[in-house]
Amino acid sequence: MLASDFVPPPAPSFNPWVRYLSYVPLYGLGVPVVKLMEAAGVWPLAMAHGLRKSMGSFGDYQPTAHDVLACCYFKCGTTWLLQIALQIAYRGTAEFDNIHAVVPWPDAPGRFAQRIIPLSNPSPSQRSPTGLRVIKTHYHSN
C-alpha cells in the first residue's frame, strides 16, 4: 500500500567537478576550523546555537488522538524509530520511496523543508489502516 500521495521536488543534479571542487574548502579550511573549535570547547555551543536558529516550528499545530510523535536526539536512531512506528501504524504494509514522503518533520531545518511532506497534508493518516500519523521531531523544551 502506497503510504502517501506526496511527491517531493526532484533533487538538483551537480556536475561531478563541482562536487569534487567543493571538497577543497571543506577539508582544507572547514575541518581544521572545526577541530580548533572542538579543542577550545566552543564547537558544541556553536552547533547547538546554529541548530536552534535553523530549525522550523510546529506553527499552529494542534495535536489529535491519532498523532504519534517520534522524538529522538540527533543521530540516535531516529530513522529506525520512524520505520518501526510507521510499520506499526500501517500494520506492516507501508510502501514509500523515502520516509520523509510519509512522515512530517515540522521542525526541520529550512533547506530540507521543501523535500518533506508538510504537516498539513492529510494523506498519511487517511491511508493508514489504524488512522495513526507518525510525526518526526527533535524538539527539545527547556
Does the pLDDT of residue 73 top 60, yes or no?
yes
Does the pLDDT of residue 92 top 80, yes or no?
yes
- In whole numbers, what is the pLDDT of the chain averaged over residues? 85
Are 130 and 89 spatial neighbours (Cβ–Cβ below 8 Å)? yes
Q: How many CB atoms lie within 10 A of CB 49?
A: 10
Does the pLDDT of residue 57 top 80, yes or no?
no
Are 127 and 6 spatial neighbours (Cβ–Cβ below 8 Å)? no
3-state class (DSSP) for residue 111: helix
**What separation in angstroms does the CA of 74 have from each of 14, 89, 104, 136, 138?**
27, 23, 16, 11, 7
Q: pLDDT by residue (tens digit) across 14-50? A: 788 888 888 888 888 888 988 898 899 887 777 776 6
Q: What was the pLDDT predicted at 51?
A: 61
| Confidence tier at 72 by pLDDT (50, 70, 90) | confident
More confident residue, 66 or 55: 66
Task: State how far the Cα of 75 lies from the Cα of 90, in Å rounded to an integer.
Answer: 25
For the entire predicted model, the pTM comes to 0.70
Q: What was the pLDDT predicted at 2?
A: 83
| Confidence tier at 74 by pLDDT (50, 70, 90) | confident
